[in-house]
Amino acid sequence: MTLEVRQARVGGLPVVAARVPWVHQSVAMLHVNGGYGADRPERAGLAHLTEHVCVVTTARRHAVRVFAKTDAVCTRYLLRAAPEHAAAVAGAVGSLFTADGHDAQVHGNETNAVLTEMARLVDQPQLAVAPAAAVAGFPEWDVSVPDVATAGSVRALRAEDVVRFRAATYRPDRSVLCVLGPQDPDRMLDLLAEHVPEPDAPFVAASPAPERIPLVQPLGSACALVLAAPTPPAPTEQDRAARHLAADLLTGSPGILAELAAAHGTRSTAFTTMVGRDRSLLVVGWPPGDHVESLAAALARATEQPPPAGADLVRATRTRVGTTIAYEQRSGEGLATMLLRHATGTGAWPDPALFDAVPDRDLAGMAGEMLRAARLWRVRGGELVGEERGR
């Protein structure tokens, strides 16, 4: 992929700016190193509430649409506007680093919005399967921090808590920005320089929060088996491309796990990728049924000796990944996501030629490595029970 790209630091903020003539919007995606894993136990829910307040108080809201999501390790903001409003996008990005106060009405409205989202999650217990697998199987990982917010903890949060959290966490030197569109990237960098502040002091990490007891949400009956496969570290571009392909080879359809399940008369009921700063976790679930005993035994054997990935599966994986990359490059949001993953070290540069250059044996070997490191549980009584590994 050929892009006109500039990489620079603006006010301490690492920025990737690209001119993309076929994207008819100015798009910015901001990654802030601060998710719900940064919440102290007595302030559970603060990162999520801060995200809501930031969205509704973002500058230039008349011209810029803002969306956001808070995960365990980060909060990401997507900002979109017409190309003629590129200056408004820059102003909106800069305002996210301003820890000004907000009035009681905004605080009350956004507290209620967070509580509404939490209530919806309680009605969808299947969404708790992947976090439960991360906490149970990989407690040392950054993605393995449970979200322990409750209605009571969120209601107890005050506006000044949000202001303090923003001042400590929403810093240019703890964030990464990708901005793209038909505009000149150098002009976009100049606009950002007008709005992004220099950090007023070096970042000092807060003392670690004391160990806390995770609050367990019942997992429901949507899954009978759950397998979590860790992705290995990938220091080079080639490694990251191989990891991307290997994850798809393992969990895609057709793919190693899909073929294994099909042989036992079933298919996966859920698939999630939990993205961490260094490694990600792939979580796959299968529904209850007559297949459970035989599939559990087959999966346990597979974690000892992964089944070989045939040429057809590898070919299908390359086609699927290549098609996805080509599709995402046509949208500002998709391309910004890929560029941001590259900038944060979690993904490869979105060039199909890079993925084509990965030898078959490398991606098959990495998929096997992930499967050997995977952990498998049954779901009984709404909980993950045991670990079926045959060891």
Quickly state the pLDDT bin for 279 (edges 50, 70, 90): confident
* CATH number of the domain residue 347 falls in: 3.30.830.10
CA angle (375 as vertex; 370, 376 as ends), nearest 5: 125
DSSP code for 25? S
Band the pLDDT of 2: cuts 50, 70, 90: low
**pLDDT at residue 216 in the model:** 52
Question: Which residue do the tokens 């900002």 mark?
Answer: 79
pLDDT for 151 = 93
Residue 335 included in any domain: yes
User: Would 199 be classed as within a structural domain?
Assistant: no
- Domain membership of residue 210 (yes or no) is no
- When pLDDT is cut at 50, 70 and 90, the band that residue 320 belongs to is very high
The three-class DSSP label of residue 203 is coil
Query: Same domain for 44 and 181?
Result: yes
Compute the distance between CA of residue 170 and CA of residue 154 in angstroms, rounded to an integer.
20
Range scoring the smallest mean pLDDT among 192-206, 315-329, 337-351 = 192-206
Structure confidence at residue 109 (pLDDT):
97
Q: Does the residue 153 lie in any domain? A: yes
Q: Which residues in the chain belong to E strands, given as ranges?
A: 4-10, 13-19, 26-32, 65-70, 75-81, 175-181, 225-230, 270-275, 280-286, 375-380, 383-385
Q: How confident is the model at residue 282 (pLDDT cuts 50, 70, 90)?
A: very high
Angstrom distances, CA of residue 38 to CA of 130, 216, 242, 252: 19, 19, 31, 32
- Is 200 or 371 the better-scoring residue by pLDDT? 371
Average of per-residue pLDDT across 21-28:
92
Q: Is the pLDDT of residue 210 over 80?
A: no
Number of domains in the chain: 2
Cα separation, 208 vs 219, whole angstroms:
29
- What does the pLDDT average to over 161-175? 94
Decide: 56 and 110 in contact? Cβ < 8 Å. Answer: yes
User: Are residue 234 and residue 187 in the same domain, yes or no?
Assistant: no
Residue 27 confidence (pLDDT) above 70: yes
Class of residue 250 by CB neighbours under 10 A (exposed 0-12, middle 13-18, buried 19+) = buried
Q: Are residues 131 and 275 in the same domain?
A: no
157 and 264 housed in the same domain: no
Question: Could you tell me if 350 and 335 are in contact, meaning their C-beta atoms sit under 8 angstroms apart?
Answer: yes
In a domain, 212, yes or no: no
What pLDDT score was predicted for residue 294?
Answer: 95
Does residue 373 fall inside a structural domain? Answer: yes
Are 62 and 130 members of one domain?
yes
Q: Judge whether residue 266 has pLDDT over 90.
A: yes
Tell me how far apart the alpha carbons of residues 230 and 254 are, in angstroms, rounded to a whole number.
20
Mean pLDDT of 92-102: 92
Give the pair of three-digit tokens for residue 74: 């980060």
Where in the sequence is the domain holding 175, given as residue range(s)?
Answer: 4-193
Note whether 174 and 249 are same-domain residues.
Answer: no
Specify the higher pLDDT residue, 218 or 163.
Answer: 163
Within-domain flag for 109: yes
Per-residue confidence at 390, pLDDT binned at 50, 70, 90? very low
Same domain, 373 and 311: yes
Q: What is the pLDDT of residue 215?
A: 46
**Is pLDDT of 191 > 50?**
yes
Residues 300 and 182 in one domain: no
Q: Which of 31, 30, 15 is nearest to 92 (CA)?
A: 30
SS3 content of the chain, % helix, strand, coil (to 5): 45, 20, 40
Domain co-membership, 183 together with 245: no
Residues 95 and 235 in one domain: no
Give the residue-averaged pLDDT of 13-35: 94
Q: How high is the pLDDT of residue 391?
A: 35
Residues 103, 184, single domain; the answer is yes
Is residue 131 domain-shared with residue 177, that is, in the same domain? yes
| Nearest-10 Cα torsion for 209, 210, 211, 216 | -70
Within-domain flag for 181: yes
